[in-house]
Chains A and B, each alone.
Chain A
Amino acid sequence: MALLSASKVSLAFAGVRALVDIDLQIEKGELLGIIGPNGSGKSTLFNVLSGIYRVDQGTIEFRGRRTERLGIAQIVRSGIARTFQNKRLFGTMSVLDNVVVAALKGAQGSVLGDVLGLRSSAKARMKAKDTANRCLALTGLAESTYLLARDLPYGAQNRLELARALALEPTLLLLDEPAAGLNPSERTALQELIRRIHGEGVTIALVEHDVRMVTGLCARAIVLDHGEKIADGASAMVVRDPRVQAAYFGEVESGEEAHAT
């Protein structure tokens, strides 16, 4: 059975169809690419999978459990973590604290336990700190631990988003245009990093505008256009599909049109 399976998922905003009858299976251990022109519904799909938007219709099953009505934090705890296209870091907190928050996975323990300094509390926090440090090392941020997140250069903020998502120890990781705004060498480094994370057994879905990055990283890709899934298959084949060519490269000439949807 697929790790995640969405069936007939639809969502409209004020009558505008953002997602139309999307069927999607993500298999365990996969690195799936999601491509499509601007406004085609890629980020909307992620927002639905992570519980930020509620579907109008359809079902989503993750590890055999229905998730389409769960809250955001519940979905995260069930094993889906994500990054945001427009970075959403905790700017006034240190780089380490940004990741520690995630590594705690919302465990409240008891406030009283923390205030009284109980051993179980200290243990949980030490464990979270270890996880956080490991994720920072993996993403090359070990040197920046005590800087404020907002003081990091752009490329490093990008990696901090990734480190924070990794600290949640997800089964499925949703990456929303992680390469946006990066220079070519940063891009290559990011690709390496994604490969490494995937190599450690994390299933990944990658939304990316850059077709070459997707064909380079992902064995399989799906293509969205106007909220519909218009192709699904081996990424090298998918990008050659005439409908994909029309939707994708047509967009370059008529970007206005794609935006209007």
Chain B
Amino acid sequence: MTTSTGLRRWWIGAAALAALLALPAFASQYIVHIANFILIYTLPVIGLGFLTGFAGRVSLAQGALFGVGAYTTALLTTKFGWTPIATFVPSVMMTVVLAVALGGAAVRLAGLYFVMATIGIQQIVWIVLMNWIDLTNGPQGVRSIPAIGFGNYRLETPQQFYFLALVAAGISYILAKRVIGSRLGLYLRALSDDQLAASSVAVEVGRAKVIALALSAAWAGAGGFLYAHYVRFVHPDMFGLDASVLYLVMSIFGGYRSIVGMIVATGLLESATEYLRPFGEFRMIAYGMILLLGMMFFPKGILTLVRRRASVPAAGKG
């Protein structure tokens, strides 16, 4: 990588950050509201990226795991009276434990079997949320989830919530970059290229895949936590198979193994669902066309629009 592209990247990054910080000052409440959803969704999407982009494992359970995080905090705060902040760690833990318990064996299987298993996990979680009425309120959902507060300051409006979502997405981005630059990240790329060769250089492929699953669940759980305290209402249908499909599309559409690409794709696709509202009942058709054309013309991800990807060696960064 030459210094000039490094410098250019730095400028793009700085400009993007400045725009993000200034957004609530000039944008309408509606725009900020959409921005909050985008920022929240980047978490499950990046988490899924660990599994799909790096370990080569396609999961259709990310919506359910996002829901586990959301429901854990929703129930702990409304039924057991916890303060929202205190439920962050339990929400993430719950999601990770459940993902590893249900998917830990399946993630070691060949790709297609794992996809099938994740559809099963997705459905099991949805059915439990819908039918374990004593605990989850079933189809009524959980209402009146408290807003996150710092002292007396409560994050209730989109503008108030925005900076929390921005900081959370920022931390998630930085941590994700460090995860994929870690030894684990290297092992995941190796095993998705050739699993037998990875074993033959002493990589414990089974363990690496389980850790990737746990990390992707952790990101989903953290995203679910934010979502529950922003929307302040949860319902099983928010975390169905269609949500899982959406996160999968977002994590692939942005570009192979590119975290920035995943974030950009989340932004584009989430805002597209809003901007396409004038299309009325044809909205989903237009949405489908965007996806189709995107994958046709930019099979390596929409980020190829703005840059030609040079391969940056992960290990080279010490």
A residues touching B (Cβ–Cβ < 8 Å)? 50, 52, 71-73, 76-77, 81-82, 84, 88-94, 96-98, 100-102, 104-109, 111, 114-117, 121-122, 124-126, 128-129, 132, 145-146, 148, 164, 167-168
Contacts and interface: CB of A to CB of B under 8 A. Distances in A.
B196 interface: yes
A2 B307 CA distance: 57
Given A76-B201, A104-B186, A88 B315 contact: no
Contact of A76 (B179, B187, B202, B211): B202
B1 to A, nearest CB: 10
Contacts of B215: 111
A92 B193 contact: yes
19 contacts: A50-B200, A77-B202, A82-B200, A89-B197, A91-B194, A94-B315, A104-B202, A105-B201, A105-B202, A106-B201, A108-B207, A114-B181, A114-B182, A116-B178, A117-B178, A129-B316, A146-B313, A167-B201, A168-B202
Contact of A114 (B184, B194, B198, B311): B184
Interface string B187-211: 1011001101111111111010001
Interface in B240-255: none
B292 interface: no
B178 A100 contact: no
Given A88-B196, A126-B318, 8 more contacts: A88-B194, A93-B193, A94-B316, A96-B315, A100-B186, A106-B202, A106-B204, A114-B184
Nearest to B203: A106
A101 B184 contact: no
B133 interface: no
A257 B14 CA distance: 69
B182 A73 contact: no
A90 B315 contact: no
A97 B315 contact: yes
A157 B183 CA distance: 23
A101 B311 contact: no
A88 B198 CA distance: 9
Given A92-B193, A117-B178, A125 B204 contact: no
Contact of B183 (A88, A90, A98, A107): A107
Given A92-B189, A93-B189, A104 B183 contact: yes
A168 B313 CA distance: 20
Given A106-B204, A125-B315, A146-B313, A111 B182 contact: yes
Most chain A C-beta atoms within 10 Å of own C-beta, residue among B175, B186, B316, B318: B186
A97 B310 CA distance: 15
Most chain A C-beta atoms within 10 Å of own C-beta, residue among B198, B203, B315: B315
Nearest to B196: A88
A253 to B, nearest CB: 35
B211 A97 contact: no
B15 interface: no
B314 interface: yes
Contacts of B204: 73, 106, 108
B186 A115 contact: no
A85 B187 CA distance: 22
A52 B201 contact: no
B183 A91 contact: no
